[in-house]
Amino acid sequence: MSPAAPTVPLPLVELGAPVLGEPEKAALAEVIDSGWLTMGERVRRFEREFAALHGVEDAVAVGSATAALLLSLAAHDVGPGDEVLVPSMSFVATANVVHHVGATPVFVDLEAADRPHMSLADARARVTGRTRAVIVMHYGGYAMDVPAWRAFADRHGLVLIEDAAHAAGLTGRTGVASHAAAYSFFTNKNMTTAEGGMVIVGDGERRERVRRMRSHGMTTSTLDRDRGRAVGYDVVDVGHNFRMDELRGALGLVQLARLPGWNDARRALTARYREVLAAELPGVRVPFAADHPTTAHILPVLLPPGTDRRAVMAFLREARVQSSMHYPPIHEFDVYRRAGALTLPHTEAFAAAELTLPLHPLLAPADVDRVVRTLAEALAIPREDSP
């Protein structure tokens, strides 16, 4: 009797995947061959091209979106004694940076349990005499109504900062109506420099302050002194080492050129998900309207009430489909619970139901169909506590 043929595992459908290839390799090799690795001319060109894509005057490259948020607060003199309104439905860095400048984060609920944007109405109710700034977050790359938030900020004398970590390439909708916007180039973002971030600041003087503060508050750069454009330096701010190096700048230039096409691919895949989910799993909802402006950074869905999300994720994993959830509410982390109990009902309801499905430009429509089919199989399994 001949042995059975070995079972070939299904290909893995990754949650997210960077798109990297020969252009990136060539760009990195050029930097190495140049002998100049620290912040220099490639980083500066990356800043200018990123600004041009977003329709603004200039931008400042930094080491991460966390650094971008922190510098945005610091450059607008947010600090000890101040309160900053922040979403709890975000990555924890959105709140952590407020602590890092010595201020206090005040968590704001979502608009609704199926709409993960920070609520203007709840924000109004949480403004006090100590409120100094507000950070809004473009969840999943879906555009916030920034002009409405700017009107709110102006009415209360607040600094408006955008956490645009998910929204690189959302031209005309980020970085133009706020005081500052922070972007991420982490590995899982729509474009990547491995680590890295960018700051857009509307006011030119504060933008230059961000530029100095990313490098210890120094008035000249290493490149300026090496090229003979400056002799010596002064230190005019207590800054940080938040610089971007030339390797990341080179990666950013290559990736930025391809970002619009990748965002288009993400939007097309999201439309496919909406179509197939509506046909096969009408009980699974996708937040936001289909025509909502977005970079389609992630594909969040809301599972039917009573679903055992852990069991669903385990089933998907066994079927070689990755999944995740975005995000555990920040106000429920232990470090923030110590400040006192807080209930944000819409945030908590959204977090309990949300599941993130694979989405990135390397997926094919057939992959979307497979993900939805596998999710349908997972949801069809009876729960152990079912009658």
111-123 pLDDT, tens digit each: 999 999 999 999 9
Q: What is the CATH number of the domain that holds 221?
A: 3.40.640.10
What confidence tens digit (pLDDT) does each residue in 148-199 have?
A: 999 999 999 999 999 999 999 999 999 999 999 999 999 999 999 999 999 9
Instruction: Say yes or no: 209 and 99 in one domain.
Output: yes
Residue 198 phi, psi (nearest 5): -145, 145
Instruction: Say yes or no: 120 and 226 in one domain.
Output: yes
Name the DSSP letter for residue 240.
Answer: -
- Where in the sequence is the domain holding 336, given as residue range(s)? 259-380
Q: What is the CATH number of the domain that holds 328?
A: 3.90.1150.10
Instruction: Say yes or no: 221 and 300 in one domain.
Output: no
pLDDT at 232 > cutoff 90: no
Mean pLDDT estimate for the chain: 94
Question: Which of 223, 254, 285 marks a domain boundary?
Answer: 254
307, 379 contact by CB (below 8 A): yes
Question: Which of 219, 254, 289 marks a domain boundary?
Answer: 254
168, 120 contact by CB (below 8 A): no
- Any idea which residues carry the catalytic annotation? 189
Residue 244 phi, psi (nearest 5): -105, 135
Question: Which of 198, 227, 254 marks a domain boundary?
Answer: 254
What confidence tens digit (pLDDT) does each residue in 324-374 have?
A: 999 999 999 999 998 888 999 999 999 999 999 999 999 999 999 999 999
**Which of the two residues, 261 and 1, has the higher pLDDT score?**
261
Q: How many domains does the chain have?
A: 2
Mean pLDDT of 14-43: 96
Asked whether residue 3 is assigned to any structural domain, the reply reads no
Alpha carbon distance 209, 221 (integer Å): 13
Is the pTM here over 0.85, yes or no? yes
